[in-house]
Chains A and B, each alone.
Chain A
């Protein structure tokens, strides 16, 4: 029953989409007032339909309706309620429905909040967004139907992967999608603004809200994914340069560049083409991400369904959108005001251009690294791997000048400034921090001359941003965000350099010595959990100062039969102590891995701080 409701509401949404798109010219002829209410009602109905559809899927999951194939494949009666609900979007079909829902929600909100702007612009935005919605509806209805029926109705489901039963992972997709899909509105409205000749300060103020919202959600979404990986996957890492992770990072670089470009457009009425190109690129990257992850073209631990036919659909749709955008850009380019003003070398505009340059560089590194193996295999028929070493080698050197410019840039005035602005005070800071970093690194026994400038730049940025807090009280959101970023960089750096790890095969009763600590494997207990059996290992790590107790688990799940390792992580403000153990075949022996990771929690806090800076800007605008 819920399946029927689900699918029929989608069909109605489809009809509305087609209607809106093909009646576009028709509707344009009406008066503003009528037009407004007509489109508003149509979009509202469509919104309602998609919500109904989405909730009917959630309902099917809650009641474990196994006549629904998606529920059958991804749920189980013994799963806790919270995970039954989050299982709705933890699979290919459900997550697409979520994409669709967010697409229509954003369109709805956009339509309500843009009443002050030109009607033609709003209509065009609706048109483009509806084209995207149509594409997704067709994709869902014809290749990824979340409401397909099974007969005879199975008694029990295939269960959800136990690794996915985690709170962080439950909210990670919705938050991430809010970020991704937010870029769709930016895409649609940029093209609409281009056609109606509205690329200017007013439009920039208007679209900035959307850019900030997407950026906040994307940042938090990525962070949640990393948190999940760190706490749940048992490897102690939080970023693996895995293709699927890269795919979420790429739009982030673009969105950050776009955010800064929009700020310039708003303040100085320049960089129009940049704004459009970045808008289109950001959304294209989001869509490409969808393509890469679901088409089976990538080799990753995160991938969804490996179905090439779905891949072909998304690929064609994606390139249809990209080519349309390219066509529109070149045809309507004349609408962009010919602002022949060249920013001076030392000016905030140029700083932002430099920022964009670096963002595009980082983007290209990640993009090339992720896609190159695919291209090479087609052209050369050889398989290579591009892993963490590649990204680290290319990105790390460029971070140094980037951090420097990021420290200096925000303080440079608009239009024109003098280079002596980079004054003695800052230079002294600079040198102090080189020395500080040197001392710090020496104390901790990690002497890389290579790393030294990186830390120096990081500190430079940090203290400059702190100093800014005391100077003036304006631009609080920017300062907070930049400060958060500097904290993030330093946390990641120190975490990477100072982290220590040790692994060994131990059986109960064994002791090992690592640096000045003793690791004891004391005991093993068996405990029954909700839908798993758990083997709990009791470990003690003793050093001169204190004793740490760990209880990592090895869980054996029934549906489906999997074994997972749950690490025990002791978090303090200074560092995380991380212990995980795995079964080995040699009876009684377990592979035990201990890691000490300094400043882990700062990594999460700093991203939260950055996002909070974003939220602050949004609140201040409206307040």
Chain B
């Protein structure tokens, strides 16, 4: 009798473990946990690129309904590729985009913008990468779509923007306007 119980327990345990592992295989092994706090830290201050002044991120977004924060650098190749999407979002869809210049050289950054265009309303400098960490960023390029009133992140894109992500952003903007 005892033997049978042990048997049943072993088999049961085995099955449980089996199904959990099977389930685990089906989960994707990606890096971004989406369940952490969606609120963004906006009161860090940094220097602006084009003016020798320190402002807080809070100030730059407070009058807006929706904002985009884009982390970029002149030395980052994918940032070049996504730049056209940002220009589009700024000019056509008229959304406020704030740039965070990540671990960059100011001269190079200005050159980059001169060459490719400037979609940003304001650009904050982040020479050490610390401010990006305040936002919970992993690196560059990274884009956040923010609801300014609640300071909640609606969408976070790790890596350069592409057609699909761009369409998503446009859709969200349109919905918000309604």
Contacts and interface: CB of A to CB of B under 8 A. Distances in A.
Interface in A363-398: 374-375, 377-379, 381-383
B80 interface: no
A326 B14 contact: yes
Nearest to A295: B25
Given A315-B18, A319-B18, A330 B3 contact: yes
Nearest to B103: A585
Interface stretch (B27-35, B132-140, B152-160): B27-35
B10 A378 contact: no
Contacts of A381: 35
B22 interface: yes
Contacts of B10: 326
Contacts of B3: 330, 333
Contact of A382 (B20, B21, B26, B35): B35
Nearest to A312: B25
Interface residues of A, number: 25
A377 B23 CA distance: 10
Interface string B84-118: 00000000000000000001000000000000000
B27 A326 contact: no
A383 B28 CA distance: 12
Contact of B29 (A297, A315, A319, A585): A297
Interface in B1-54: 3, 6-7, 10-11, 14, 18, 20-27, 29, 33, 35
Contacts of A297: 21, 24-25, 29
Contacts of B26: 308
Contacts of B22: 312, 315
A378 B11 contact: no
Interface string A251-295: 000000000000000000000000000000000000000010001
B129 to A, nearest CB: 11
Nearest to B33: A383
B7 A377 contact: no
B27 A377 contact: yes
Given A319-B18, A383-B33, A311 B7 contact: no
Contacts of B20: 374-375, 378-379
Interface string A314-325: 010001001100
Contact of A326 (B11, B23, B25): B11
Contacts of A323: 11, 14
A296 B25 contact: yes
Contacts of A504: none
Interface in A585-604: 585
A299 interface: yes
Contact of B24 (A306, A377, A585): A377
B11 A306 contact: no
B14 A322 contact: yes
Interface string A333-375: 1000000000000000000000000000000000000000011
Nearest to A326: B10
Nearest to A330: B7
Nearest to A320: B18
A43 to B, nearest CB: 31
B132 to A, nearest CB: 15
B14 A315 contact: no
Contacts of B75: 585
A277 to B, nearest CB: 10
B27 A378 contact: yes
A2 to B, nearest CB: 34
B102 to A, nearest CB: 11
A311 B14 contact: no
B162 to A, nearest CB: 22
B29 A299 contact: yes
Contacts of A330: 3, 6-7
A378 B24 contact: yes
Contacts of A379: 20
Nearest to A380: B35
Interface string A392-412: 000000000000000000000
Of B24, B29, B75, which is in contact with the most chain A CB atoms at under 10 Å from its CB?
B24
A385 to B, nearest CB: 11
A326 B9 CA distance: 11
B18 to A, nearest CB: 5
Contacts of B33: 382-383
B107 to A, nearest CB: 13
A375 B17 CA distance: 9
Contact of A296 (B11, B18, B29, B35): B29
Contacts of A291: 21
A319 B14 contact: yes
A191 to B, nearest CB: 15
A323 to B, nearest CB: 6
A206 to B, nearest CB: 28
Of residues B3, B6, B29, B103, which shows the largest number of chain A Cβ atoms within 10 Å of its Cβ? B29
Contacts of A322: 14
A461 B139 CA distance: 50
Contacts of B35: 381-382
A315 B7 contact: no
Chain B CB within 10 Å — which of A312, A326, A378 has the most? A378
B23 A378 contact: yes
A321 to B, nearest CB: 11
Nearest to B26: A308
A306 B29 contact: yes
Contacts of A295: 25
A322 B27 CA distance: 24
A556 B134 CA distance: 34
A323 B14 CA distance: 8
A240 B145 CA distance: 38
Contacts of B21: 291, 297, 315, 374
Contacts of A308: 25-26
A17 B83 CA distance: 59
B35 to A, nearest CB: 7
A297 B29 CA distance: 7
Contacts of B103: 585
A333 B2 CA distance: 13
Contacts of B23: 378
B29 A311 contact: no
Contacts of A585: 75, 103
Contacts of A312: 22, 25
Given A308-B25, A308-B26, A315-B25, 13 more contacts: A296-B29, A297-B25, A297-B29, A312-B22, A315-B22, A319-B18, A330-B6, A375-B20, A377-B27, A379-B20, A382-B35, A383-B33, A585-B75
27 contacts: A296-B29, A297-B21, A297-B29, A306-B29, A308-B26, A311-B25, A315-B21, A315-B22, A322-B14, A323-B14, A326-B7, A326-B10, A326-B11, A330-B3, A330-B6, A330-B7, A374-B21, A374-B24, A375-B20, A375-B24, A379-B20, A381-B35, A382-B33, A382-B35, A383-B33, A585-B75, A585-B103
Q: What 4 pairs across the A-B complex have the smallest Cβ distances?
A: A330-B7, A308-B25, A311-B25, A378-B23
